[in-house]
Amino acid sequence: MIIPAIDLMDGKVVRLYQGDYSKKKYYNDDIYTRLCNYNIHAVKMIHIVDLDGAKNPNNRQIQLFKEILSKVDIPLQIGGGIRKEKDIETLFQAGTKRVVISSSAIINQKEVKRWFNIYGGNAIVLALDVLINKKKEKEILINGWKDHSKFILEYIINEFSEVGLKHVLCTDISKDGTLLGPNFILYKEISKLFPHIKFQSSGGVGSLNDISRLKSCGIHDVIIGRSLLEKKFSILEAVQCWQNA
């Protein structure tokens, strides 16, 4: 399915270029108008990145999420700086459908596996940001893409599959925010290698053709941010393209 992405900072819609806080662009969007439009066009999930929470877990935009959920009847998956179990509990208590965990899954694997055992694979999305290195390995980057983890994508997926991993949001960081097209080779390869995983692609989608090609790669969901914000196509066109691909 098509999953629109909204990055939020100080309650405003914003996009970072390749994860860089110094390269941000604010959009003069009314959040609720946009979300209601998604609701009208049968969007089944919205991906929200809490950029404030990613920087400081004590500054999570929980009240805003509660307001969104009170006005829009669409499930949310929310990520951004989830480091402790209380972060997960806070989001679930606010009404979040799924939490998105990234760096913590690499830094604190044992603890995150425990969370899978508590909440189950349908409640947690692993966000794995990869850089194709000189050895052609899918190396995972962490901490806002600042640090190389020395772990590769395949190893982490195998590790968490043992505790019920079902959803993986995979981003080729070289493509994020570029509108230059996703890494189709990457998604085709991992979808074939891990048929039990519902992969969410993220990064690079700039046209409806990109959506069609991603579906042919075996991807389960496509996360789209900048293209929708900058009106490269409408949410209705994206949903119809996915359905007809």
Q: How many residues are listed for the chain in this entry?
A: 245
What sections of the chain are H helices per DSSP?
31-40, 51-55, 62-71, 85-94, 103-107, 109-119, 153-161, 184-193, 208-216, 226-229, 235-244
Write down the catalytic residue from 129, 172, 210, 221. Answer: 129
Per the residue annotation, which of 7, 50, 52, 87 is the catalytic one? 7
**87 tagged catalytic:** no
Rg (CA), the chain: 17
H helices, E strands: number in the chain: 11, 12
Residue 74 carries which side chain, given as an amino acid letter? I
| 59, burial (CB in 10 Å: exposed 0-12, middle 13-18, buried 19+) | middle
DSSP label at residue 234: -
Structure confidence at residue 99 (pLDDT): 97
Tens of each residue's pLDDT in the chain, 245 residues: 999 999 999 999 998 766 677 778 889 888 888 888 898 888 999 999 999 988 888 888 999 999 998 888 899 999 998 999 999 999 999 999 999 999 999 999 999 999 999 999 999 999 999 999 999 999 999 988 888 898 999 999 999 999 999 999 999 988 887 889 999 999 999 999 999 999 999 999 999 999 999 999 999 999 999 999 999 999 999 999 999 98
What residue type is 18 in one-letter code? Answer: Q
d(CA 115, CA 226): 31
Task: Please give the DSSP secondary-structure letter assigned to residue 26.
Answer: E
pLDDT at residue 18, as a whole number: 64
Q: Which residues have C-beta within 8 Å of that of residue 212, sequence separation ≥ 6? A: 241, 245
Structure tokens that stand for 235 in this block: 């949410």
Residue 155: what pLDDT?
A: 98
CATH class for the domain made up of 2-244: alpha beta
C-alpha angle with apex 157: 54 to 163, nearest 5 degrees?
90
Show me where the domains of the chain are located: 2-244
73 catalytic, yes or no? no
What DSSP state is assigned to residue 245? -
User: What is the pTM (predicted TM-score) of this model?
Assistant: 0.94
CB 219 within 8 A of CB 171: no
